[in-house]
A and B are shown apart, each in its own frame.
Chain A
Amino acid sequence: MALLLAVASLGALSPSQLDELALEHCHGRVFLDGGSNTGDSVRSFLSGAPTATVTATAAAAATAATVTDPSPRSARRWLLWVRAQRAAPAVQQPVAQPHRAGAARSDGAAARAKHVLRPLV
């Protein structure tokens, strides 16, 4: 039934539009870029840059939840840690099981780390 619905709604795209998408050349990984503008977004994506900041910020958000001492010294150490994470070539996403991890933390920090990852400023 779900397949039938999917096929029916696919009628909204004309055959020429489907040809234009050329999805038959894709093998399981697709990045849809809404709004090319100057092509900067594609270049940024191809540079592999999203992983660095997104992952570091997720890790920072999770770590921030563990910082209990708000003194400048702690904040400075935290910033240094974030910088080190940014410089690291590969950082594992700390929230591997977001649903359970989010439920376990009373402050919801892990959930926030998963949901809306705000840029560091």
Chain B
Amino acid sequence: MAPLREPSTFCVRSFEANPHLVPLLRAGAAAPGATPAESGGVAPNVRYIDGALSNRSGADVPRTVVTYARNRWGSTATTLAFKDIHPSQPPLLSSATVRGASYDVRDVLRAALQRNASSLIGLKLDVEGDEFWMLDQLSREPQLLCDISYLFVEFHNLPGQRANLSQYGLDADMYEVLKRQVHPLMEQPSCRLKVYWRSFWSACGDVMRFQWRDTEQASDVPPKPKGGKKRRGRRLIKGRGKGAKVRRRHS
């Protein structure tokens, strides 16, 4: 885990399949609800790639981009049907097919390893359903999978409704299938894969990513200006609350 404590020593290559978001990311635009100062711009070791990280490479690969809110961040590229991932909210306002670059994760891994065979590689997948096909392919190339050290994957099948995967030609229990494929490989002493974590966001100590549905990114309502709102409700005065009485009784 020690290398992850030195993130500035990593080359970060961040892939975005939604072409509408790439200019914002490259400009270091503030995320929804954040002030421009909080965005922090783009670090020198970070490069945003205009293209999907997926299970095939190509310069002109189609994908679906769904708009769910009328703000500049309010759209997403998706592999599974949007409603299969987000059945209730946010709303699906429009959907379009766009074409763009796609990078097969295996090709990218090979390219990195060709530069430096002992590269230490972390991989995070939040690819709206594509993770099932990507991981399935990766697990069938054990050496390549085992050249990854840290693997964080957001799984996008609906909890409790795994059957929704079968309509995509996947095993309905694909999450478990992948575990059965990946875990034995990790047991091999030569395998560098140390972490296979199902959630990057909780690994980072953040709120789970699906909670963005309640944020300004998924809302058409302009964000309220921060500050200026007076605090309401009673304020606990030191020495006069219930807890203070208890403390006095014990002292």
Chain A: residues with CB nearer than 8 A to chain B?
A: 6-7, 9-10, 12-14, 16-18, 20-55, 58, 90, 93, 98-99, 102, 111, 114-119
Closest beta carbon of chain A to B108's beta carbon, Å: 6
**For residues 193 through 212 of chain B, which have their beta carbon under 8 Å from a beta carbon of chain A?**
194-206
Residues in A whose Cβ lies below 8 Å from that of B13: 21, 23, 30-33
Give the residue name and chain of the A residue nearest to B153 (CB): A34
Known: A41-B14, A48-B5. A6 touches B51 (CB 8 A): no
Residues in B whose Cβ lies below 8 Å from that of A10: 107, 110-111, 114
**For residues 169 through 200 of chain B, which have their beta carbon under 8 Å from a beta carbon of chain A?**
179, 182-183, 186-189, 194-200
Chain B: residues with CB nearer than 8 A to chain A?
A: 1-17, 21-22, 25, 28, 31-32, 39-40, 43, 46-51, 53, 56-59, 73, 76, 101, 103-116, 118-128, 130-131, 134, 150, 152, 154, 179, 182-183, 186-189, 194-206, 217
Supply 26 A–B pairs (Cβ within 8 Å), ascending by A.
A6-B110, A7-B114, A20-B49, A21-B49, A26-B11, A29-B11, A31-B10, A31-B13, A33-B14, A34-B105, A34-B126, A34-B130, A35-B128, A36-B16, A39-B14, A39-B31, A44-B206, A45-B124, A46-B46, A52-B205, A53-B204, A54-B195, A93-B194, A115-B183, A119-B202, A119-B203
Give the residue name and chain of the A residue nearest to B38 (CB): A43
Contact present for B205 and A53 (CB under 8 Å): yes
Residues in A whose Cβ lies below 8 Å from that of B106: 9
Residues in B whose Cβ lies below 8 Å from that of A55: 1
Other A-B contacts than A6-B113, A39-B28, 16 sampled, CB-CB below 8 A, are A9-B107, A21-B49, A29-B9, A31-B122, A32-B108, A34-B127, A36-B48, A41-B126, A42-B43, A46-B43, A49-B206, A98-B187, A111-B187, A114-B195, A116-B179, A116-B197
Contact present for A32 and B110 (CB under 8 Å): no
Contact present for B59 and A39 (CB under 8 Å): no
Known: A31-B7, A38-B73. A99 touches B116 (CB 8 A): no
Closest beta carbon of chain A to B234's beta carbon, Å: 29
**Most chain A C-beta atoms within 10 Å of own C-beta, residue among B11, B46, B106, B130:** B11
Known: A9-B106, A10-B111, A37-B21. A45 touches B59 (CB 8 A): no
| Cα–Cα, bound, A6→B51 (Å) | 22
